Amino acid sequence: MSRTAVRPPADNAVDPIALWAMGRAHALAPDWPKYGSPAWCSLHPGHPARLASAIEAAELWRRYGDEHALVEWLKSLSRSRESIARGRALAELDALAQPKAPHQLRATPGWPPVRIPGQAGRYLYPQEGRRAA
């Protein structure tokens, strides 16, 4: 039988839950198989190593989450992504690539004046839409 050790927290802080879980597992059995493995299934249902293995599995789940979901997420990272151009006509892509009209700067009533970019010291006021120096 082999035992998988639980890694300490990343910040090297003492994790009392992990200490209790591993202490309890070691008190039940000095060695145990991986939870759900063929060796685990071959043990008698009342064997203490089965419970130690279940405690270890629960602690790993608490600390690291769903292993299968993690593996699927990692697999999804290696899949190629669909092209943004897929299913679009060339004319539509050309239209999207055309330069857009510049934003029309407007001052909003009730807000402070807007500084005009590129013109130091000039502001646009909301009252009349006038520019002042």
Containing domain of residue 58, as a range? 16-65
pLDDT band at 52 (very low <50, low <70, confident <90, very high): very high
Q: Is residue 97 part of a domain?
A: no
- Among the listed residues 2, 9, 1, 4, the one whose alpha carbon sits nearest the alpha carbon of residue 58: 4
50 is a domain residue: yes
Domain presence at residue 40: yes
Average pLDDT (110-125) is 88
In sequence order, which ranges of the chain are alpha helices (DSSP H)? Answer: 16-28, 38-42, 48-64, 67-78, 90-97
d(CA 128, CA 67) in angstroms, rounded, equals: 63
Residue with tokens 């000039």: 122
Please name the amino acid found at residue 50: R
In a domain, 30, yes or no: yes
pLDDT tens across 72-116, in order?
Answer: 878 888 877 777 677 788 888 888 899 998 888 888 888 888 888
Q: How many domains does the chain have?
A: 1
Q: Is residue 109 part of a domain?
A: no
State whether residue 88 is helix, strand or coil.
coil
pLDDT at 23: 92
Residues 46-74, mean pLDDT to the nearest whole number: 87
Q: Is residue 99 part of a domain?
A: no
Residue 81 domain-assigned? Answer: no
- Has residue 129 got a pLDDT over 50? no
Q: Report if residue 128 sits inside a domain.
A: no
